[in-house]
Chain A
């Protein structure tokens, strides 16, 4: 589902959020520190801060539906990955180096457009995380414009 080019894009350090929904179809969502593509692009690991609202993990465990939006701040190129929850575990130290590396890359992106001061993460709780494994079911373009929503994979 996620080829080499898309994988490189997704793992470069993007602004990432995961959306879920509860049994009443009310949406929930939270920020994601980083993602890792695994299993030849068939799975995505989303590193979700443990400080985030428990509603997202509750939804994933209950109905499994997930939508992950990833955007590059400097040009607004964006992708949405739809998927189904597979499993969750505590992220370990090696995950931390990987995830926080992506987060630092995102900050550099924000710095490039003059937003680093406004998005200083000194108070944000982006680590520790849980590692949520999502099976990728579809990929869409979300870059703003008339073709937003086009199927990529």
Chain B
């Protein structure tokens, strides 16, 4: 072996397809594209067994194979001679490959069709450079700052850890982490989703780098990389998402031709065409708090060390988020709500020329529309509607978390109501979609509704 497998990890990110050569017992060769080759250890790789195709049949007859992979960092082709050893249908290798396929299949609405049957483990007998595909001397620098210095990484994590311990609110905590990911690691597109009111669903609570924000977008468990990370409570890194999606879409077209009825394609928050995604679960003592997802339009943007670093960050962030939620839930103001004269003038001066805005609440769907556009749903919608109704009826604009918590009409759960997270979501959503309707924190457990316009409330 002229080179160790551990030096070829770039080849195993699924950015460029691999070739798989096998031979049947009758001497008929077979050549097929492989979407992904998984690195197992210094002497083994794993190939996904999804369909019982000719290559797989050949391997059951004749265990010897040849694969060719390309290093995306310098274009060097490598030929790996393999011998089939075993199939695994459980365990960490299977789980890793399964989750990657599940995430891609989910994007294409192919869950259940596009499924991993087994992870086939092969011994790598030799590794040789491909003579017609010599590589460049210098490697592509897909990372803007080269290989990270471990000292730099530790300092960055120290700084982010410091931000976590000094943040005074959930909003400040999440914002400081997302901005830190950009400042220290150059990760420009990131989002944090937290578990919420609905079971088996996450709601986007903070984003960075997206023109349309996306706060409030929901992701069901099992949907896309974020939903799969949440469901499995396991990190996923996909470097060749473009290739993976092309492969999935090809399978989807074939399945449609056979009369298969697709699930809806999932529209998730994030980049329109991400090429690399990394999602890590935020878990505290086995309980999922949320998911941190970073993405890039650059293939192979996130390397193995990035995954390890973000996993480490995620472990601390999960605890910090949960602590902050508990802290904010326990912060109740002692005094009664401040009474203000009825029908006060708008607190903030209008920031736009819009004189009046119409808010329509649909109780059956628990949805509020603002001037005909979707604004928010579920518990945050119920809260906003209550605030607006109180303001309209009494002119009161200041509220406490406690009074919301005691209001049975809002239907907050008795245990772990996550009210502060819902209020943060509501505040962020209003900032994005309704700049002259704002919720402004006014100290411990207290906030104000500030209107920069006239409002018309309609309930349907």
Binding site for B on A (CB under 8 A): 15, 17-21, 25-31, 49, 51-53, 63, 65-69, 71, 73-78, 80, 82, 113-115, 117-126, 140, 142-149
Contacts and interface: CB of A to CB of B under 8 A. Distances in A.
A65 B26 CA distance: 11
A48 to B, nearest CB: 9
B115 to A, nearest CB: 11
Contacts of B77: 31, 124
Contact of B250 (A53, A76, A119, A123): A76
B295 to A, nearest CB: 14
Contact of B131 (A125, A145, A148): A125
B404 interface: no
Interface string B53-88: 110000000101110101010010101010000000
B33 A78 contact: yes
Contacts of B32: 69, 80, 142
Interface of B: 15-17, 19, 21-23, 25, 27-33, 35, 51, 53-54, 62, 64-66, 68, 70, 72, 75, 77, 79, 81, 113, 130-136, 140, 242-243, 246-255, 257-258, 275, 299
Contacts of B25: 25
Contacts of A31: 68, 77, 130, 132-133
Contacts of A51: 131-132
B131 A118 contact: no
8 contacts: A52-B132, A113-B246, A115-B16, A115-B242, A124-B133, A124-B134, A125-B133, A144-B251
Given A65-B28, A74-B246, A80-B32, A119 B70 contact: yes
B109 to A, nearest CB: 14
Q: Which applies to chain A's interface (DSSP): helix, strand, loop or mixed?
A: loop
A149 B54 contact: yes
Given A69-B19, A117-B140, A148 B53 contact: yes
A14 to B, nearest CB: 11
Contact of B134 (A26, A53, A123, A142): A123
Contacts of A73: 17, 246
A120 B53 CA distance: 31
Most buried by A among B31, B131, B258: B31
Nearest to B28: A65
B132 A122 contact: no
Contacts of A67: 28-31
A17 B19 contact: yes
> Across chains A and B, which 9 residue pairs bring their CB atoms closest together, nearest first?
A145-B254, A19-B31, A76-B250, A145-B251, A27-B21, A69-B31, A29-B21, A21-B23, A51-B132
A32 to B, nearest CB: 10
A140 B15 CA distance: 25
Nearest to B248: A144
Given A80-B30, A144-B251, 7 more contacts: A21-B29, A26-B81, A27-B22, A52-B131, A67-B28, A123-B135, A144-B248
